[in-house]
Structure 1
Amino acid sequence: MQDRITLPDWDTLAELDDESLPLLPTALLIARDEYPALDPTVYDATVQAHVDHLRAEVEIIASAPLKMAAINRHLFDELGYSGDHDEYYDPRNSYLNEVFERRLGNPISLALVQMEVARRLGIVLDGVSFPGHFLVRLPMEEGMLVMDPFNGGRPLGVEELRERASSHLGGQRPDDQVLAQILDPAPSRAILMRMLRNLQGVYAENHQWDRAARSADRLLKLAPENDDALRDRGLAYLKLEYLAGARRDLGRYVQRNPDAGDAQALREKLVDLGGPRTRLH
């Protein structure tokens, strides 16, 4: 079989704009960190098999929402892709090779599968960085259809979306304007960064500091100016006793964010580490 997919190089990603950043290949690149023998063509072929199975059915359906209903039925009902409700924070739920193999994932990885299948069938399906669970949206002439990939692609009504958002907005239900902003499409870079933040958080919670540092490092490959990732990599380096790296990252973070809420505590850490005095002002 002719290769359909080539993974990008980490060192080139920061130079790409969001539209040029390849979503599926970069997600598989993230997985290759944990699974060095990963063959991307295997998973590209898996996606294409889903698409080939659906194409004849989808092409004779006129309505975009009904096309998506057919896609969702095949992915979630027939193939058994599902949200991992039992082990939500299992890192395998963020690695696409594992999602394809186990048919289990978290909201963002399942959304990525759903989006890639839809895209290859000519359907524009956007990711939505909704508070809490990642969602997808299908633009329509009269508005949009919002779906929950973690729960079988179930459509979500406006009131349920307001209710879901309110728990992340101090209990305040968003009005139409705020909700519309929340439902803006997420660029590819934002989707990939959210995947990496999920991994970084899981690994830090489990005290797997080498993997936490790697996840933060990959975030910086996508967004070199991301100060949170710089701080998190420095803190992970500190746990690993890689003191030169910790001094460098935490010093740069404090320089960039002298008034941040955690800046003083980090200054004190730098003093303990013997960091350059010039970085502490």
Structure 2
Amino acid sequence: MGKYLGNGIYNDGNKLWRLALRINKNDNQFYYGNAIWINKNLLNENIYDLNDTSNSKYNSFNTIRTNKIMIQMNNHDVVATLNDTLKGKTLYELFTGVSNSVNDDTIENMKTDISPWGFQRNTGVIPSTNIVFNKNGSNSDSFGVRLGIVLGNGYYEGLGGFFYYYKMNYYAVSSGIQNRFTSTFYPCNVYVEYHKYLIKQNDKYYSIKDNILTELGIPTDATQKEQWFNDYGVDDLKDALLTPDENGKKLIGSLDDKFEVRMI
């Protein structure tokens, strides 16, 4: 486990993640059939306290284009790397544009008998490393999965409706996992990988936040440089540089031809 920095930012020690969904309540807000998966409406978007017991959907669900998704549950961080077809999409685009599809993605730390979230599986189950989006069964709220891991033989584990751990255990509810035998509910957080960008010209760093070129200067040390990235960096480089202002001018036109992009 890494460190939650607050305000929806999580540092796993190597990269930064932005909180997209915070699923804490064992109710139907995140069942497969709920429109929250396929619209841009936000939910409790100003609550970033991970100890808060409400559910949240943040703007990062709609806006951050990502290559990786992390599902944090039961004190385990499970990371899925998207395939080349799906990389660079937002969660909104994935849940509205990928239908009933199993994809050639990679789940890190996949094991045979233990779920990557630490739950015991039936001995002998050999799951693939693929993830599935919007897999709808015979009943959308009973057998659908919005985002899950493929176990084979028609079984999945994941978020959005009910799902199975092979034939031994039955876990339910899109709001995390609920063990049918113990009725234990496990909340979860869904993050998207993201980067912070600054511009560097002639050894000086510049912010392009709010589509305005602002000189920051030369950092005194690595700590100040990291703080600049966190405070003044932008999530979407393309949007910041190429979105025309009210006069039709693009920020990239304010840079010389030797500018460099820096990111963390």
Higher strand share: 2
TM-score (structure 2 length as normaliser): 0.32
More helix by share: 1
Higher RCO, Cα 8 Å, sep 6+? 2
